[in-house]
Amino acid sequence: MTFDGVDDERLHQRFAAVAPTEVQVARMQVSVMNGYAQRPVSLWREWLGLLQARPLVNGSLVAVAAMVLIFATPLGALLRALSSLPQLQAVVSVRGDAATTKQWASRNGQNARAPASYD
């Protein structure tokens, strides 16, 4: 208790006269809980709410949805392409070098000397 003196306690008791009635508390609670339900919620919290409501059913649905998204849409192809990106880069760099040499040769004639780096 935050009241140490007798008079402190007496005045605190008098303040009970301005306390809200049960009807007022219930009325305010409806508005407060409506306001709480309508507050802005981030997307991941909505997903969390779904899992909280029915963990098994909604968890399974989320897993199925993720599989469908990966295997039945271009997203899967994109992910596979990204996973093979290092190999692709290696091929492109080799082909790129060959093309550069060919271009240089055609521009300077077949008999022209190649630069030192190509000797």
Partner 1 sequence: MFVFFATFYTGPSEGPADEAEVQALIRAARVGNDRAARRLYALHVARVFRAVRPMCGSEAEAEDVTQDAFITVLGSLVKYEPLAGRPFVAWVLTIAMNLARKRKARASRTEEQSLGPSASGVALEETDVLLRQKLLALLNELPERERRIVSLRYGGELTADEVAEVVGVSAANVRKICERQRQRLLQRLEESAP
Site residues, partner 1 (CB under 8 A): 2-3, 7-8, 10-12, 14-25, 27-29, 31-33, 35-37, 39-41, 45, 48-49, 51-52
Distance from C-alpha of 44 to C-alpha of 48, rounded to nearest angstrom: 6
Residue with smaller CB distance to partner 1, 13 or 73: 13
Contacts of 88 (CB under 8 A, 6+ apart): 81
**Cα-Cα-Cα-Cα dihedral sign, residues 57, 59, 62, 67:** negative
Distance from C-alpha of 85 to C-alpha of 80, rounded to nearest angstrom: 9
Q: How far is the CB of 75 from partner 1 (least distance, A)?
A: 26
Q: How far is the CB of 85 from partner 1 (least distance, A)?
A: 33
Residue with smaller CB distance to partner 1, 56 or 85: 56
Q: How far is the CB of 6 from partner 1 (least distance, A)?
A: 10
